[in-house]
Chain A
Amino acid sequence: MFKLLKNLNKKEFGIISVMSLLIIGQVWLELKMPDYMSEITTLVSTEGSAMSDVLVQGGYMLLCALGSLVLMAIVGFLSSFTSASLSKKIRKRIFDKVEEFGMEEMNKFSVSSLITRTTNDITQVQMFISMGMQLLIKSPIMAVWAILKILNKGIEWSVATGVAVLVLLVIISILMITVLPKFKKVQKMIDDVNNVTRENLKGIRIVRAFNAEEYQENKFENKNTSLTKLQMFNQRMMSILSPVMYLVMYFLTLSIYLIGAKLIDGAQLMDKIDIFSNMVVFSSYAMQVIMSFIMLAMIFIMYPRASVSAKRINEVIDTEPNIKNGTVKTTLKDKVGEVEFKNVSFKYPDGQNVVLKDISFKAKKGSITAIIGSTGSGKSSLINLIPRFYDATSGEVLVDGINVKDYDLEILHNKIGYVPQKAVMFSDSVYNNVDYGENGKPKKSEVTVKKAIEIAQAKDFVEAMPNGYDDDVSQGGTNISGGQKQRIAIARAIARDPEIYIFDDSFSALDYKTDYKLRKELKKNFKDTTMIIVAQRIGTVIDADQIIVLEDGKCAGIGTHKELLKNCDVYREIAYSQLSKEELENAR
C-alpha cells in the first residue's frame, strides 16, 4: 500500500499537507463548539442571564459549525482530487506496463486477472485512500485534542472514558481477529460458485447429453452452502458491532452523569455549578474521543481488503518484462524480407521440456515456407519467436539479416503481418478492424483497405452486411462466423503491406475452396512478400517452396512436398493420414 503512495508527486504531497492543516483547523473549530455549548448551558441554567448573551454564544457556535463545514468541504474536495488522480495515475501505469508484457507475463497473470487488477483493485485502493486519508489524519488529532481538553476536568470521568475506549478496542480486535481471515476467503468462495455456474453454462450440451443436471446441481449446492455458511458467520459477527458500540456510548454518558452527581454532591457550594457545566461538556468531548477511536478501527477494518488489492497492483507494476526493446531502427537493404533461424532452441521460461530443438532454416524473400507437424510439436512456438512474443533460449532468429533481439520492437513489427490462430476482432467497424494499427507508413488509403478485404475473400460477405464496411463487428464477433472473422483478420495483415506474412494456422477455419482461392490470390498479388504458414492440411502446404516438418520440437525434415514424400517418414505419415497414395501422386 505504501509503495503505491510513492506515486504521489510533490504537488499532491503539498495538497496533503494543506489538507492536514485544514483538518487541524477544522478539529479546532469542532472542539471549540462544546465550549460554547457549555457557555450556553451555564447561561441557561443561571438565574438572570441575558437572552442576548445566549444569542451571542449561539452565534459563535454557529460560526464555528459553518467554518467547520466549509473546511470539511475543501478537505473533501482535495482528498477526492488526490485519490482520483492517484488512481488515474496507477491505472495508466498498469496499462502501460501490460502493453510492455510479452506472452510469458500475459500467461502468468491471465487476462481476466489483469483486467480486475486494472479496474476493481484500483477502485478498492482509491476508496480506501480517499476515506482513509481523511480519517487517518483526523481521528488521531481529534482523539488527542479531545483528551487534552478534558484531561484536567476530572480524573474520574477520564478513567470512565478510558475504560470505555478499552472495552471498544478489545471488542473490535476480537471481531477483527475472528472475522478478517474469513473475509479474505469469501472472494475465493464466490469465485468457486462462479466457476461451477460457468462450467455448467459452457458445457450445457454435454451436461444435458449425459443427463448430468443433478450432478452439476449437487456440485453447485456444495459450493453454495459453504459460501452461505461463511457469509452468514461473518455477517452475524459483524452485527454484534453496532449494538455494542451504542451500548458503550450510552453507558459512558450514564456513568459520566452518575459520577457527576457524586462529585457535585461532595463539592463546595461555589464549585457545584462549575462541575455541572464541566459534566455536560465532558460528556460531549467523551463522545468525540469514542468516535475517533471507532473511526480508527474502521480504517483497520478497511485496510486488509485494500492491502490485498494494493499487493495485486504492485505485482503487475513490479514485473519486469523479459523481452527488452532493442535499438536497431534500420534494415540491411540486401536482405529485406529474409527470415533465418540459426540453431534455435526454445523452452518456456517456467517449463521443463524443450519445445524447439536446434532449428535452422532460411526463408528467402518472396518464398513460401510451410510448417507442419502434429499437435504440440512446436509449430506455434516457432513462429512466435519471429515477432518476439518470446525470445529464443539459444540460437538466433534473424529478420532482414538482423537478430530480432536487436530491433526496436516497433520497427520489427512493421515488417510483419501476423495472423493468429484465433481470429481477433475489435469492437469497431469492419473497415477499422482491417485498417488497424500502424506500419510506419502514411495512413492507409480506402483503396488499400478495400483491396485487402477483396484479396482476403471477404468482399462478398462484407458488402452483403447491412452497413457494409461500416458494419460493426462485436467484440466476441458473434454476428459473423468463425471463417468470416478469420478472413477479416487476414485482410488486416494484407492491408498492413508487410515484408513478411506469418499465418498461424489461419486457414483451418476456412473451407477448402476459400482456402485455395485465398492462397492463389496472395501468391498472385504479393510475389515479393515472404510467407510463413503453419498448417495442418496437406493441401495447404503442398505447394510451398519449403516445408518444415516438426516432430516433438525437432526438425524431422525440410524440403518440398515431393522430396519429403520420398525421404521423410513423419511427413509421409501425416500425408497418408489425410489423403490416399494415389491422390497424393495425382495432386501435382
Chain B
Amino acid sequence: MQDSKHVERQHGPTFEKPKDLKKALKNLAKFSKKYMPILIIGVLCAIFSSIFSIIAPDHLSDLVNTITNGIMTGIDFDEVNKIAKLLIIIYLLSATFNLVEGLLSATVANRLSQSFRSSISVKINKLPLKYFDSHSYGDILSRVTNDVDLIGQSINQSLGNFIAAVALLIGSVVMMFHTNFTMAITAIISSLVGFSFTAVILSKSQKYFIMRQKELGKMNGHIEEIYSNYNVVKAYNGYKSANEKFDELNYNLFLCNMKSQFLSGLMQPLMNFIGNFSYVAVCVVGAMLTMNGTIEFGVIVAFIVYVRLFTSPLTQIAQSLTSLQSAAASAERVFEFLDEEEMKDETDKVKKLSVNDVKGNIEFNHVKFGYEPEKTIIKDFSIKVKPGEKIAIVGPTGAGKTTIVNLLMKFYEVTDGDIKIDGTSINDLTRENVHDLFTMVLQDTWLFEGTVRENIVYNKSNISDEEVSSALKTVGLKHFISTLPDGLNTVLSDSESISAGQRQLLTIARGMIKNAPFLILDEATSNVDTRTEELVQKVMDKLTEGKTSFIIAHRLSTIKNADKILVMNGGNIIEVGNHEELMAKGGFYAELYNSQFEM
C-alpha cells in the first residue's frame, strides 16, 4: 500500500487537500519573504491590468455611441479619434502590466522552486539516518521534483490569474452597476444560474480525477512489479494472473479516464452557453430599455463585453482555487520534510582528534542501543580494542553487526553507555571529526554518474593522477580501467558494463585514497569472488598495518586471521577470541564454521 502511494505521487499532481491550509500558507509566506516585494509588485500589476481591461469597454461603448449618434448627421471624427487614442493607451497599459506581472511571477516562482529544492537537498544531509529507515527515497524524491514543481507552477500561473480574476470580477460588477442597474442585475443573475451547473460538474469531475490518479497509481504498482520481476513471471508462467489483473486495472483506468475527461470537457461548452445566454438576456433587456429610451445603444455593447468579463473570471477563480489548493498540499509536504527534526547541533563541541595523532584505541563501554526506544538491539556491549588490532564481527543476520558500525560512526547515538576513541568519548567529538577518522567500505557499492577519477577522488582535493593510479593498481583494476575508452575519464553510468565485483573494487580504491587511521569493512568483499577477495585481503592487510580495523564478513574465510573475532547473537557478544581459540572452544562459532563443510 505504501508503495503504491508514493508511486502515485510521482506521476502527475494528485488533488490532495492540505491538512492545515492556514499553516501551509503561513509557512509558504514565511519562506517566500525574500520575494515578497516582487510578489506584491506582481500582484499590483495584475490588479492594474484588470482595472484597465475593465474600463476599456466603457470607452469602447462611448466610441460606438459616437458612431451611432452620427450615423444620420455625420460622425464626429475628432471625438472618435480621441477615444481611439485613449483606448490604444488603455490596451497597451493593460498588456504591459499583464506582461510585467507574467515576468515577475515566472521569476518568483522559479526562484522559490530553486530555494525549495536547495533547502531540501541541504536538509537531506542534516537529518539523522533514522529518518531514512522509515521513509522511502521515492517519497523524498517526489518532494524535490513533483511537489516543488506543483508549487512553482501554481504560483506562476494561478496566483496571478486568481488575483486578476478577483479584481476583474469585482471591477466588472462595479462597472456594470455603475453603467446601468437593471442591466447589471440581468447579467449577474443569468450568469449565476449557469454557474450553479458548472459548479456541480466541476466537483463531479474532480472526483473522477482523483479516482483516475488512484487507478493510475495502482496500475503503476502492478506494472512495476511485473516488469521488474519479469524473469520470475516468465519462468513461472505467471502471465495469466498478471494479465487478468492488468486488464481489470486497465478497464478501470479507461472508465475513470473517460468520465473525468468528458466532464471536464463539458466545462468549456457550458461556459460558452452561459455567455450566449447572458448575451441574449442582456440584449433583450437592453432592447426593452433602449426602446423606452432609458439607455443608449452603446450601453448594450458595453454590457456584451461586461458579461464576458464577468463570466470568465468565475471559471478562472474556480480553477485557480483548485490548483492553489493542491499547491498548498504540496507545500505542506515540503515543509513537513523541512521541519523534520535534525541531528543535534554540535557547534559547542570543542574537542578534536587529529587524523595524524590518533593512536588507535577504541573502547565500547556497556553500550545499549535500539533503533526504536522500545526495541533494544544492542543490550550490553563492551570491548577494548588496542591500536593496530584487526577485529572481526560475525554472527547471523540481525545479530547487530552493522549496528555496531553505525554507532561507531556516530550515525546513531547510543542510548546508554559510551564509546571512546583514544580515551575521548565520541559524544564529545563532532560527527565530522569522527567521520574523518574512519575509512568505511560497504557492501552496497555506491558509485555515482561521473568519471572513474571523480568516483575515486570524490571530495578529496589535491589528489594526483598517480595516487589514483596506484590505488587502482593495488585493487587490481589498473588494467581494466586502461581498457575503457577514456581511461580514468570514462563516465560511469548504470548501463556501463562494470560488474558488481569491479564496482566493489572501485569503492575500495576510494577508501584507500581517504587513508584514515581507522578502517571499517562492512561486508566489503562479499560481491567479489573468493580469489579476488584474497587479493583484496592482502591489499587490505597492508593498508591496515598499524591501523585499527573492523571487519564484518559473511564468509568466515575472510576473518580467520583477525586478532579478535567477536561472535554476536541477539545484540550481545557471545564469544570472543581468535579463530583457533574459538574453534577449540567448540561453541557457536565452531558450529557456524563447521556448517560450511557439512552436506
Contacts and interface: CB of A to CB of B under 8 A. Distances in A.
B220 A115 contact: yes
A256 B500 CA distance: 74
B599 A516 contact: yes
A137 B258 CA distance: 20
Interface in B484-536: 494, 497, 499-502, 507, 514, 527-534
Given A95-B223, A224-B118, 5 more contacts: A65-B277, A210-B459, A239-B102, A240-B99, A587-B597
A113 to B, nearest CB: 10
Contacts of B335: none
B543 to A, nearest CB: 16
A212 interface: yes
Interface string A86-118: 011001100100110101001000110011001
A118 to B, nearest CB: 5
A114 B227 contact: yes
A197 B121 contact: yes
B111 interface: yes
A418 interface: yes
10 contacts: A80-B265, A115-B223, A120-B12, A134-B265, A204-B129, A228-B114, A254-B60, A418-B235, A492-B232, A513-B595
Nearest to A126: B257
A68 B409 CA distance: 72
A210 B554 CA distance: 25
Contacts of B149: 190
Given A200-B121, A257-B60, A413 B458 contact: no
Contacts of B554: 508, 511
Given A115-B227, A213-B125, A247-B95, A54 B287 contact: yes
B356 interface: no
B109 interface: yes
A220 B125 CA distance: 12
A239 B106 contact: yes
Q: Among B63, B70, B145, B529, find the residue whose CB has the most chain A CB atoms closer than 10 A.
A: B529
A244 B95 contact: yes
Contacts of A464: none
Interface string A270-307: 00110010001000000000000000000000000000
Contacts of A152: none
A426 B229 contact: yes
A217 B123 CA distance: 10
Interface residues of B, number: 160
Counting chain A CB atoms within 10 Å of each CB, the highest count among B67, B91, B221, B597 belongs to B597
The 9 closest A-B pairs by CB, nearest first: A239-B102, A437-B236, A539-B596, A374-B529, A543-B599, A375-B501, A72-B269, A215-B459, A65-B276
Interface string B75-106: 10100100010011001101110110011011
Interface in B443-485: 444, 446, 448-449, 458-459
Contact of A44 (B140, B283, B396, B432): B283
B598 interface: yes
Contacts of A58: 280, 283-284
A521 B92 CA distance: 87
User: Which secondary structure dominates chain B's binding surface?
Assistant: helix
A261 B227 CA distance: 69
B110 interface: yes
A407 to B, nearest CB: 13
A330 interface: no
Contact of A257 (B67, B277, B288, B532): B67
A265 B95 CA distance: 31
Among A217, A511, A538, the most chain B Cβ lie within 10 Å of the Cβ of A511
A103 B91 CA distance: 62
Interface in A10-26: none
B426 interface: no
Given A80-B265, A239-B99, A481-B398, A251 B91 contact: yes
Taking each of B60, B68, B599, which has the highest tally of chain A beta carbons within 10 Å of its own beta carbon?
A: B599
Interface stretch (B166-174, B238-246, B372-380): B238-246
A420 B68 CA distance: 86
A493 to B, nearest CB: 8
